């Protein structure tokens, strides 16, 4: 649901000092996280994974980035990472 401090961001002028809703520069860190998380949780019986909470709210995804960037950088690569790590898992919005 939030962009970690260690993830590179898209360079833009921001009106707030809060970085948790910033658009990441690429999807690579996100995909690596999702892959590791699914591989850790699946053996414990977890089969359902939700991706990044409420991108329509500015507190979770910056408005300047737009929902197309969320779909392209978070939803599509995140869903692919879940399915690559676990063919019988379910991806939730």
Q: How many CA atoms lie within 13 A of 44 on its CB side?
A: 7
Instruction: Note the pTM of the prediction, 2 decimals.
Output: 0.87
Q: Which residue has the higher pLDDT, 14 or 35?
A: 35
Task: Give the mean pLDDT of 14-33.
Answer: 89
| pLDDT for residue 74 is more than 90 | yes
Whole-Å CA distances, 47 to 12, 18, 62, 74, 80: 37, 32, 29, 19, 15
- Token digits of residue 90: 């379910």
Whole-Å CA distances, 21 to 5, 46, 85, 93: 10, 26, 26, 17
Q: Which pLDDT belongs to residue 55?
A: 85
pLDDT tens across 26-59, in order? 999 999 999 999 999 999 999 999 988 788 888 8
Q: Which of 33, 25, 28, 42 is nearest to 1 (CA)?
A: 33
Task: Give the mean pLDDT of 8-20.
Answer: 85
């Amino acid at each position: 649901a939030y962009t970690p401090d260690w993830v590179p961001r898209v360079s833009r002028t921001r009106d707030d000092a809060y970085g948790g809703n910033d658009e990441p520069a690429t999807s690579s860190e996100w995909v690596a996280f999702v892959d590791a998380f699914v591989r850790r949780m699946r053996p414990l019986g977890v089969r359902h994974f939700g991706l990044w909470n409420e991108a329509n709210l500015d507190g979770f995804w910056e408005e300047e980035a737009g929902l197309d960037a969320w779909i392209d950088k978070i939803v599509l690569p995140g869903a692919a990472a879940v399915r690559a790590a676990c063919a019988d898992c379910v991806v939730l919005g």
